[in-house]
Amino acid sequence: MSELNTGLRLLALRDIFLTDTDENNQLSIKELVEKLKIELPESTADQKAVKRYIQTLQSSGFDIIENEDKFGKKFYSHQERLFENYQLRLLIDPILSARFITEEEKKTIISNVKKLTSKQIAKTLPDPIVYQQSINQDYQLIKLHIDKIHDAIYQSKMITFQYGDFDIHKDFQLRHAGELYQIKPHALIWESNFYYLIGDDVKYSEENNPRNYRLDRMRNVTITDNKFTHKRKDLSTYVQNSFHMFGGQDEWITLQFTLDQNVLNGVIDKFGIEADIRKEDDETFLLKAKAKLSPGLKAWILAWGSKVKVISPLTLVNEIKEEIQKVKDQYKE
């Protein structure tokens, strides 16, 4: 029985070090005894016993720092953490800004993340109540989809699902009369506040032609018994070229932009720091890149207004001209 009690005290003392101490907060032996009695009211551990427990924890590999003040009083702390403070922010901030996560779920997730550090550091982390951005009413579906697709990717099993969109009345309508999509799942990514599945549709014979599907638009996701062999795919290039540009054929484009810092920032944000960007003169710069000729690309170009001019290919030049003419016609009296 005494061994059991000793084990409980060791575990309780370890938790006290994890939650109540860090590099800026340390406790004396007296304070450790008091906290141990709060955690285990029936504990009879005194200062001498707590010192033994500290030695036992240290010998087991649990790091405890001992400091002595100018009066010779000793203080103890545990300073090793699974995550640095900035890493905790990297975990928390995307969760807080994710529009598809409900406020209640954000509170739960952030509360659990805060347990990865001391109470004092946890108090400095942001409060989820400040953020009021959850708009997706299908979060329960998304949670289920994430779990199922995650398992399917790990098991290399095909999945089926239905896919759809909201109509003008905000009613969800399945595409292709509810036909099942049969997909080889390769990856789940979070892009621009939405979760996407990247996978191959078995309906198409091209092996290296992945497609993406938004999880909130999927219904009735099912893991099948059909296994498939994962083949190495350059998904990073696919994501870079496809997202925000939608589908289409890859082709080299040349765009001329006004030499403006905001414009330059936008181009680099879209095509990356390695993009082929060259100063043309004091007022313009050129971008040469491989992109999908698609409605998404045209919309992005048109959003820059007079600050961009398409140089090539000629087909894209003509399509942009036609779109500009349509806009002009809208305003004819």
Assigned token pair, 10 = 């060791």
Domain that holds residue 181: 139-238
201 near 219, Cβ under 8 Å? no
Q: Given 238, 263, 295, which residue is the final one in a domain?
A: 238
Which pLDDT score is estimated for 243?
62
Closest Cα to residue 78, out of 134, 147, 26, 115?
A: 26
174 near 219, Cβ under 8 Å? yes
**Burial class for 315, CB neighbours closer than 10 Å (0-12, 13-18, 19+):** exposed
The position carrying tokens 């790091």 is 63
102 and 64 in one domain?
no
For residue range 99-121, list pLDDT tens digits in order.
Answer: 778 888 888 999 999 988 999 88
254 and 223 in one domain?
no
Which pLDDT score is estimated for 205?
61
Closest Cα to residue 287, out of 269, 234, 248, 299?
A: 269
CATH of the domain at 17: 1.10.10.10
Which pLDDT score is estimated for 303?
93
Identity of the amino acid at 162: Q
Which pLDDT score is estimated for 242?
65
Q: Given 96, 130, 164, which residue is the final one in a domain?
A: 130
Q: Given 44, 59, 77, which residue is the final one in a domain?
A: 77
Domain count within the chain: 4
Q: How far is CA 36 from the centre of its chain?
A: 38
230 and 143 in one domain?
yes
53 and 27 in one domain?
yes
182 and 232 in one domain?
yes
89 and 62 in one domain?
no
57 and 10 in one domain?
yes
Which pLDDT score is estimated for 105?
85
For residue range 211-253, list pLDDT tens digits in order.
Answer: 889 898 999 999 999 999 877 666 776 676 666 554 556 789 9
Which pLDDT score is estimated for 209?
72
Which residues, at least 6 apart from 279, have a Cβ–Cβ distance to it below 8 Å? 259, 285
| Predicted TM-score (pTM) above 0.75 | no
Which residues, at least 6 apart from 136, have a Cβ–Cβ distance to it below 8 Å? 99, 100, 101, 102, 142, 216
229 and 151 in one domain?
yes
Q: Which residues of the chain have pLDDT under 70?
A: 1-4, 127-137, 205-208, 232-234, 237-238, 240-249
Which pLDDT score is estimated for 323?
93
